Amino acid sequence: MPLRIILADDHLIVRQGLRSVLEQEAYTVLGEAGDGREALRLAQELAPDVAVLDLAMPLLNGLDAAREIRRASPQTKTILLTMHTEDPYVMEALRAGVKGYVLKTQAAQDLVQAIKEVSRGAMYLSPGISRTVVEAYLAKSELPPDPLTSREREVLQLIAEGKTTKEVAVILGVSVKTAESHRTRIMGKLEIHETASLVRYAIRRGLVQP
């Protein structure tokens, strides 16, 4: 039975290209998403074998989408597509339970191999990713922990994307008061008290792209 896959990237042309590559390999692409929230919904509904996620997606980035998919559909293996080779991104991905880390510059060649590896229970990293990062992760040398909860990271990403508190509330399905209290807690935890600095923090953590 062919592997069942969902694709999530906010660029339609990238999704079309990847879909073509995967279908040539006789994989079944169950659905496509243009943002992380849609990817999570598809994973919950379709329970695919593999979810291929762009790191930089609106509404919910690929890392946090991977965390949520892991909870919602534990059998789904996640593969992250990214431009970033820097250690903190790779370490965060491993922490989030991502099984494949594929550089966009090599996506066409690497993705098929990554899917084969992760579907067998292995881990796949594109050539060019520092092996020392994985060794450090396995040895449990830790990055400074993220002080924010997953919900607070979602709120921070939406704020950094320019959403108002009211828009954040609508997207997350919570009251304006709850959205405002999340924002207040985020500022308190990070000791950041203006929006511009929140945006810079979100960029540094890879939640949004500059």
Residue 140 has pLDDT above 70, yes or no: no
The dihedrals phi and psi of 121, each to the nearest 5 degrees, come to 95, 5
Domain count, the chain: 2
Q: Tell me which of 112, 138, 164 is where a domain ends.
A: 138
Residue 126 has pLDDT above 80, yes or no: yes
Cα 64–Cα 119–Cα 89 angle in degrees, nearest 5? 30
Residue 138 has pLDDT above 70, yes or no: no
pLDDT bin (cut points 50, 70, 90) of residue 142 is: low
pLDDT bin (cut points 50, 70, 90) of residue 149 is: confident
175, 34, 82, 142 alpha-carbon torsion, rounded to 10°: 20
Q: In this predicted structure, what is the pLDDT of residue 36?
A: 94
Question: Across all residues in the chain, what is the average pLDDT?
Answer: 87
Q: Is 11 part of a structural domain of the chain?
A: yes
Q: Tell me which of 115, 138, 161 is where a domain ends.
A: 138
Residue 29's SS3 state is strand
Q: Are 127 and 193 within one domain? A: no
CATH number for the domain that contains residue 170: 1.10.10.10
Residue 139 has pLDDT above 90, yes or no: no
Q: In this predicted structure, what is the pLDDT of residue 110?
A: 87
CATH number for the domain that contains residue 56: 3.40.50.2300
Q: Tell me which of 117, 138, 159 is where a domain ends.
A: 138
190, 192, 196, 200 alpha-carbon torsion, rounded to 10°: -30
Mean pLDDT in residue range 134-138 = 63
Please give the Cα distance from 198 to 209 (Å, whole number). 13
Q: In this predicted structure, what is the pLDDT of residue 136?
A: 62
Contact 124, 102 (CB under 8 A): yes
Residue 154's SS3 state is helix
Structure tokens at 206: 């890879």
Q: Are 52 and 121 within one domain? A: yes
Please give the Cα distance from 60 to 155 (Å, whole number). 9
Q: Are 155 and 132 within one domain? A: no
pLDDT bin (cut points 50, 70, 90) of residue 10 is: very high
Q: In this predicted structure, what is the pLDDT of residue 193?
A: 86
pLDDT per residue over 76-124, tens digit each?
Answer: 999 999 887 776 778 788 888 899 999 888 777 789 999 999 999 998 9
pLDDT per residue over 163-206, tens digit each?
Answer: 999 999 999 999 999 999 999 999 999 989 888 888 888 887 77
The dihedrals phi and psi of 78, each to the nearest 5 degrees, come to -110, 140
Name the pTM for this structure: 0.79
CB atoms within 10 A of CB 152: 17
pLDDT bin (cut points 50, 70, 90) of residue 5 is: very high
Q: In this predicted structure, what is the pLDDT of residue 147?
A: 84
The range of the structural domain enclosing residue 41 comes to 4-138
The dihedrals phi and psi of 143, each to the nearest 5 degrees, come to -75, 160
Q: Are 191 and 92 within one domain? A: no
